[in-house]
Amino acid sequence: MVYTMKDAFDFSGKVVLVTGGSRGIGAGIITAFGRLGARCVINYVADVEGRNKTDAERVAAALPEARVLQGNVGNPEHVGAMMERVRRELGGLDILVNNAGILQDRTIRKMAFEEWEGVLRVNLTGAFNCIQQASPILRPGGRIVNLASVSGQLGFFGQANYSASKAGLSPRDIHAAEVHDCFSISELLAYEILGFAPRGGAAKLLESGATALPAARRQFGAGDPACTMPVNPGGGLMGDGHPVGATGVRQVVEAYGQLTGSAGERQVPGVERFLTFNMGGSVTTTVVMIWGKEG
């Protein structure tokens, strides 16, 4: 039997806030949550033409009982007022998606300080403001999702400000991972989808030894790459069999062992955040979870 995404996930009663949700990726995310039963909050920032408000209201109109809240995520007072309304009107928050971001592309030579600082204030400080102010109203089992970008690793012409802001929300903050490697191509695609490698760069990532355990790198003389992020320390499907279920129970067991320092010879030093990525139902369902230590 093949399960659809709606069968796999039910967010009924969950309160979801997506920043920058008036259009683009943010609108797509909040719409998906709404269709799966979530109580949606769409954040936008006011603009002179009023376009952002109009777009946010259009997204909300297609969802049941969705709320639209104006607020500049780069302004801690705006964020505080927004979170207070969520607490007062909805009783708390279950999922925060830090999606808001802006572009002001220009070479460093021509970039004004306001263009540099403005992008970092929204893209990076905005995420900090929302995380800090959402934490007190986040209900048990709540989740915070930060949207990163491959620009945080690669950098593109005229995007020094944007790349710097996204490097602060980087996939490289993950210390180890388990991915679904039923076929070699599946593993390579996972690296690129998750942002561990740029498009077409997964094979080079593997060749560098960055995804291997330190002992394996030494054994095969791969040297010490500048950035390492061991993947599948548990052996993947070849070593441990199928991850078991849509959430990848076997992967979660490995995450627990790594985070508690009880993984034995497979232990990755200094793991504080561990990612699991599983696929099921002929790739109709994908589940990504990031595990970490409290405190």
Distance CA 228, CA 199 (A): 18
Instruction: Return the residue matching tokens 């390492």.
Output: 228
Distance CA 39, CA 254 (A): 33
The catalytic position among 3, 44, 162, 191 is 162
Q: What phi and psi values does residue 33 have, to the nearest 5 degrees? A: -60, -45
Strands 176-179 and 273-280: parallel
Where do runs of H (alpha helix) occur along the chain? 5-8, 24-35, 51-61, 76-90, 113-120, 126-134, 160-167, 184-193, 202-207, 214-219, 236-240, 249-260
Strands 176-179 and 138-146: unpaired
Annotation marks residue 162 as catalytic: yes
59 in Cβ contact with 31 (< 8 Å): yes
Which residues are known to be catalytic?
162
